[in-house]
Amino acid sequence: MSPAGGVRHLAVLGSPIEHSRSPELHRAAYRVLGLPWEYERVETPSGTLPAFFGGLDESWRGLSLTMPLKHEVLPLLAHRSDLVDISGAANTVLFDEDGPHGFNTDVAGLVGALGDHGVTDVDTVHIIGTGNTAGSAFLAAARLGASRVLVSGRSLSGIHALEELGDRLGVHTEWRLYGSHVPVRADLVINTLPGDIDPDDVPEADLGDVLMEVPYDPWPTPRAARWTERDGLVVSGLEMLLHQAIEQVRIFATGVEGGELDDEDEVVAAMREAVRLNLED
């Protein structure tokens, strides 16, 4: 798609969406890049995405997708990155002349956020939840060298999908349903559930060296607060959001995955400042 009058439109879609900090991140990046682009939030409940796609014109450059749309978008894509095919989820859509392209930047977001805190190598990972982000969490665990992943969830189909992913990646996978109180210790715990959900099957006995808490609103989540009280390392989902947004900006601005931005250090600094995210916080 070609630009319409130089102004391009982008948005983050999902439901609920009013809490999203993505507009602050993206607007800051495009200001630095000198791009006359507009980025908004759009409440998009489950089942309404095809109609939304059908109403877009040539001024649209891309979309960021959150719950519950990362799976629902797949049939609407003309092209998928390898990571989308492996994870079964796309959180990024680029509109181009040959149709919508789907990407997954959540994996890079997780790995980047953890890397900022020196977490670059793990052996055992505990993933809580089996929804939209769980596959990306599993792929991030594999990139960090995990040899064993435990999945806690309530959906047997979701658990089995992650088991199959583990088989493809060569990562030993174990699982348990919510309600099990068997203590687990992991190098890294990744919680993919919304922040207001705190299953009672993840008690204090579920210790780990690091907690990656994907939700960031409300903050701190009950789990993050408990870890902080015992001086555990907590990595906020806002940090993940930053890193996945950096990947999205690269895709939207260059038109390709892995593209390089002009003045990238300045862009990233502006994005951090936009959400008041500093490693010292």
3-state secondary structure of 164: helix
Q: Is the pTM of this model over 0.85?
A: yes
3-state secondary structure of 156: helix
b/e 99-133 (16+ beta carbons within 10 angstroms → b)? ebbbbbbbbbbbbbbbeeeebeebebbbbbbbbbb
**pLDDT, position 205:** 42
pLDDT in tens, 220-250: 988 888 888 888 899 999 999 999 999 999 9
**pLDDT, position 280:** 56
Cα gap 100→61, rounded to integer Å: 10
pLDDT of 88 above 80 = yes
pLDDT of 72 above 70 = yes
* CA-wise closest residue to 131 among 106, 109, 149, 153: 153
**pLDDT, position 185:** 83
Mean pLDDT over 138-158 rounds to: 95
pLDDT in tens, 6-21: 799 999 999 999 999 9
pLDDT of 208 above 60 = yes
Query: How many other CB atoms are found less than 10 A from the CB of residue 188?
Result: 26
Q: Tokens 């808490």 correspond to what residue? A: 213
The single residue of 8, 26, 61, 70 carrying the catalytic annotation is 70
Question: Does domain 8-104+239-274 fall into CATH 3.40.50.10860?
Answer: yes
Catalogue the long-range contacts made by 267-274 (C-beta closer than 8 Å, 24 or more residues apart). 267/28, 267/29, 267/32, 267/33, 270/28, 270/29, 270/31, 270/32, 271/25, 271/28, 271/29, 271/242, 271/245, 271/246, 272/242, 273/28, 274/24, 274/25, 274/27, 274/28
Active-site residue flag, 1 = no
**pLDDT, position 3:** 40
Average pLDDT over all residues of the chain? 91
pLDDT of 203 above 60 = no
Domain topology for 108-236? Rossmann fold (3.40.50)
**pLDDT, position 1:** 33
Same fold, 8-104+239-274 and 108-236: yes
Mean pLDDT over 142-159 rounds to: 94
State the pLDDT confidence band at 4, using cuts at 50, 70 and 90. very low
pLDDT of 144 above 60 = yes
Q: With both helix axes pointing from N to C terminus, report the angle between 237-254 and 22-33 in degrees, rounded to the nearest 10.
A: 40
* CA-wise closest residue to 144 among 124, 114, 126, 122: 122
* CA-wise closest residue to 148 among 127, 129, 133: 127
pLDDT in tens, 214-228: 999 889 988 888 888
Q: What residue ranges do the domains of the chain occupy?
A: 8-104+239-274, 108-236
**pLDDT, position 176:** 87
pLDDT of 65 above 50 = yes
pLDDT in tens, 257-276: 989 999 999 999 999 999 99
**pLDDT, position 207:** 62
